[in-house]
Amino acid sequence: MSEIAATSIVDKSARIGANVRIGHFCVIGADVCIGDNTTIHNNVTIVGRTTLGAGNTVFPGAVLGTQPQDLKYAGEPTELRIGDNNIIREFTTFNPGTANGKSLTQIGSNNLFMAYTHIAHDCSIGSHCVFSNNASLAGHIEIGDYVTIGGLSGIHQFVRIGKGAMLAGASALGQDVPPFCIAQGNHATLKGLNRYRMRQLLEREEIDRIAALYKRLFSGKEVVREAAEDCLRNNEPYSELVAQFCTFVLQSTRGIPVMNRTRKDDE
């Protein structure tokens, strides 16, 4: 049986799962769906077509599902979908999608969103990610699984970040970060590989192949796109991860933030 504080306003049309706890002074709108075993602490606002899966924890001051911060938004029905077992800390803000995008902001499961994280309209977030304090995402951003976003970092709209990558703190990112790479700075550039995450998720052979691929693509000795095409053609013995890495690079429309380097730097 769910427990709802007397001072909270929960619309009669909202769908509340089993064993849900809603603290004092919350506002839950008509089209909201909250999954089983979710805890909503005090002073939380959840409105719009917002769905939370099971086992989520939402801390005070969070605002989920209010209309997108997009001047083109005209009140059309769009959605915010959140998976299971996410920790959503104080004063986070998640916006739904827009008709100009996918009409959907999608968030996976088992993520940690620290205080003041902002997820804008039409973003797609994977699972097992960590967003540190004041991480801010503009619209239409795609982030894979096991990604870490450092505190006080901002990401430009339409940027993609691949699985297992990391954006260091106080960075401003305007281009795509391939899987398992680290980017840092303002404006952020690639700084190496996220070997910590690679050791957690990959076998030694795959780590070595990605390390060799990274060195070839981003050493400054070859044109990145041409090198990625060649690696994709000659991916023998076949590695799915190498194929995904090269495809990510080739599909980039914003480009990869490779640091300008001279031949002397590589010697």
Selecting among 29, 53, 108, 139, the annotated active-site residue is 139
Q: How many CA atoms lie within 13 A of 237 on its CB side?
A: 2
Selecting among 118, 121, 128, 140, the annotated active-site residue is 121
Selecting among 70, 84, 122, 176, the annotated active-site residue is 122
Residue whose structure tokens are 């005070």? 60
Output the CA–CA distances (angstroms, integers) from residue 75 to 48, 68, 93, in the order listed: 11, 9, 18
Contact assessment for residue 131 and residue 153, using Cβ atoms and an 8 Å cutoff: no
Known catalytic residue: 24?
no
Known catalytic residue: 121?
yes
Distance in angstroms (rounded) separating the CA atoms of residues 186 and 138 = 16
In this structure, the strands spanning 188-193 and 181-185 are antiparallel
Q: What residue type is 110 in one-letter code?
A: N
In this structure, the strands spanning 172-173 and 21-22 are unpaired
Contact assessment for residue 256 and residue 176, using Cβ atoms and an 8 Å cutoff: yes
Known catalytic residue: 122?
yes
Structure token digits, residue 67: 């209309």
Residues marked as catalytic: 121-122, 139
